[in-house]
A and B are shown apart, each in its own frame.
Chain A
Amino acid sequence: MIVAEAKPFAEVAGMIGGCRRLLVVACAGCTAVCGVGGVRQAGELAAALRIHFRLKGLELETEVTGVTRQCEPEFVGELAEAVARCGAVLSFGCGVGVQFVADRFAGVPVFPALNTRFAGGFTVSGAWEERCRLCGDCQLHLTGGICPLTRCAKGILNGPCGGVQDGRCEVGWDVPCAWMLIHERLAALGRTELLRPIRPPRNWAHTSAGPRRQGVSTDDSGK
């Protein structure tokens, strides 16, 4: 799941600045699940913004709605009429959702209400942890199902570094060292031989560099 968090109120209020009508669009996907992008949060922020502008002597009209997933053009398309009525959108989607809304409604300003943080899940209710860097070159079979790229502070592939102490990472005593976890896990599986080979430098071309990555479905079950 994509984990996001609310932007500071002042930042959102600042970015919507001169808008007098605003379509506030929640997303029922990931951001709703992590409790920041659902209809409820969208409604609350809309109310707070209305009060904020009224205190400045301005009126802001909002229309709060939601879509199943903002990362799908089909669902985003459902907003057409409301967007036409309002002329500006505050999106509670993740970064992907905001862009899909912006793509679909080219003539309309689209503002992000959230900061999109990472791909993760919750460990205990209300606490999320990053688990995947979306690197496009999964090596989890070699590391006991624990991703060093994501969970090691330096993302190193031949760990642990010399900073680990009592199983914890040098960057913070509350963070477990991913490489210690990997060692322990592989030891428990009796597969420590996986740690012997030197893992070569990574091919980052799969990841961050260059133009957007694209994928094509190889699932033909729907045909």
Chain B
Amino acid sequence: MNPEPRIIGFCCYTCAYAAADLAGSMRVTYDPAITIVAIPCTGAVEPGVVLAAFEEGADGVFIAGCLDGECHYKSGNLRAKERVRALCAVLEKLGLETARLEMFQVSAAMATRFRDKATAFAARIRALPPSPVRRREGRGE
């Protein structure tokens, strides 16, 4: 259990970020533990950036991009899916739960779907213990 998780959501500017924005104006709320980072395209989220988020103490990271076939850069979202798969393998090797990383897809109009997905992810992260990377952070050397 983790009452105060830190969750980073990398959201594509043209879809997921817009959906989050729309959710805001519709007063549809999602878990406040989520910090959204706007990015031009999920294809631009390099694996190193995701690893950096975990290293800095994130308990969970999601990447939210456009629906298949709707990427503004043609195939950035497909590349992101591939990377998430590869990153899950890295997390596994490091001994971190792969549940801490997820990719989902929404369109700019899907405010409630965004809310559902983000909330479900956050609930999953809350059910996990705090990230061990973070937990040991305080101990120092």
Contacts and interface: CB of A to CB of B under 8 A. Distances in A.
On whether A and B touch (CB less than 8 Å), the answer reads yes
Interface of A: 9-10, 40, 43-44, 47-48, 50-52, 54-55, 57-59
Contacts of B96: 51, 55
B50 to A, nearest CB: 9
A23 to B, nearest CB: 17
A214 B127 CA distance: 62
Contacts, number: 42
Contact of B94 (A40, A48, A58, A59): A48
The main secondary structure of chain A at its interface with chain B is helix
5 contacts: A9-B90, A44-B90, A54-B137, A55-B96, A55-B133
A48 B90 contact: yes
Nearest to B52: A47
User: For the side of the interface on B, what is the size category?
Assistant: 10 to 19
A40 B46 contact: yes
Interface string B105-135: 0000000000000000000000000001100
Given A47-B51, A51-B51, A57 B90 contact: no
B55 A51 contact: yes
Nearest to A50: B55
Given A9-B90, A40-B48, A51 B54 contact: yes
Given A47-B55, A54-B133, 17 more contacts: A9-B90, A9-B94, A44-B46, A44-B47, A44-B48, A47-B51, A48-B51, A50-B55, A51-B55, A51-B96, A54-B136, A55-B94, A55-B132, A55-B133, A55-B136, A57-B136, A59-B141
Nearest to A57: B136
A166 B82 CA distance: 36
A216 B78 CA distance: 48
A54 B47 CA distance: 19
Nearest to B86: A44
Contacts of B141: 58-59
